[in-house]
Chain A
Amino acid sequence: MRIVCPFCGERELGEFTYLGDAKPVRPVAGASEDEVFDYVYLRDNVAGETSEHWYHGGGCRAWLKVARNTLTHEISAVEPAAGAGARQAVK
Chain B
Amino acid sequence: MADFSWGSRSPLEHALVAGAHGARGTEAGVSLTEIRDFDLIQVMARRGQAAELAKAAKARFGVAAPNAPKAVQTSDAILIWSGPDQFFVLSKGGKHTMQTLAPALSGPASLSDQSHARALINIAGSKARIMLAKLSSIDLHPEVFPIGSAAATSMDHTSVTLWRGDDRPDGQAVFSLLVFATFAESLWHTMLDAAAEYGVEISHSEELA
* Interface status of B119 (Cβ within 8 A of chain A): no
On whether the beta carbons of A9 and B69 are closer than 8 Å, the reply is yes
- Please give, as numbers and ranges, the residues of chain A lying within 8 Å of B68 by CB-CB distance: 7
- Please give, as numbers and ranges, the residues of chain A lying within 8 Å of B157 by CB-CB distance: 14, 58
Give the Cβ gap from B181 to chain A, nearest Cβ, in Å: 18
Of B44, B46, B82, B152, chain A has the most CB atoms within 10 Å of the CB of: B152
- Please give, as numbers and ranges, the residues of chain B lying within 8 Å of A72 by CB-CB distance: none
| Smallest CB gap from B52: residue in A | A86
- Please give, as numbers and ranges, the residues of chain A lying within 8 Å of B53 by CB-CB distance: 86
Give the Cβ gap from B175 to chain A, nearest Cβ, in Å: 17
Binary interface encoding of chain B residues 2-39 relative to chain A, with 1 for a CB under 8 A from any of its CBs, else 0:
00000000000000000000000000000000000000
* Interface status of B103 (Cβ within 8 A of chain A): no
* Interface status of B172 (Cβ within 8 A of chain A): no
- Please give, as numbers and ranges, the residues of chain B lying within 8 Å of A84 by CB-CB distance: 84
> Chain B at the A interface: mostly helix, strand, loop or mixed?
mixed
* Interface status of A29 (Cβ within 8 A of chain B): no
| Smallest CB gap from A62: residue in B | B84
| Smallest CB gap from A85: residue in B | B84
Out of B45, B48, B159, name the residue touching A58 (CB < 8 Å): B159
Residue tally, chain B, CB below 8 Å to A: 23
CA distance A58 to B135 in the complex (A): 14
Give the Cβ gap from B195 to chain A, nearest Cβ, in Å: 22
On whether the beta carbons of A85 and B153 are closer than 8 Å, the reply is no
> Chain A at the B interface: mostly helix, strand, loop or mixed?
loop
Give the Cβ gap from A7 to chain B, nearest Cβ, in Å: 5
* Interface status of B146 (Cβ within 8 A of chain A): no
- Please give, as numbers and ranges, the residues of chain A lying within 8 Å of B49 by CB-CB distance: 86
- Please give, as numbers and ranges, the residues of chain A lying within 8 Å of B73 by CB-CB distance: none
- Please give, as numbers and ranges, the residues of chain A lying within 8 Å of B159 by CB-CB distance: 57-59
With A62-B83, A62-B84 as known contacts, state yes or no: A89 contacts B48, CB within 8 Å.
yes
| Smallest CB gap from B47: residue in A | A89
On whether the beta carbons of B47 and A60 are closer than 8 Å, the reply is no
* Interface status of A35 (Cβ within 8 A of chain B): no
Restricting to B73-88, which residues have a CB under 8 Å from any CB of A?
82-86
On whether the beta carbons of A87 and B50 are closer than 8 Å, the reply is yes
Out of A8, A14, A15, A85, name the residue touching B69 (CB < 8 Å): A8
Interface residues, chain A, CB within 8 Å of chain B? 7-9, 11-12, 14-15, 57-62, 80, 84-89
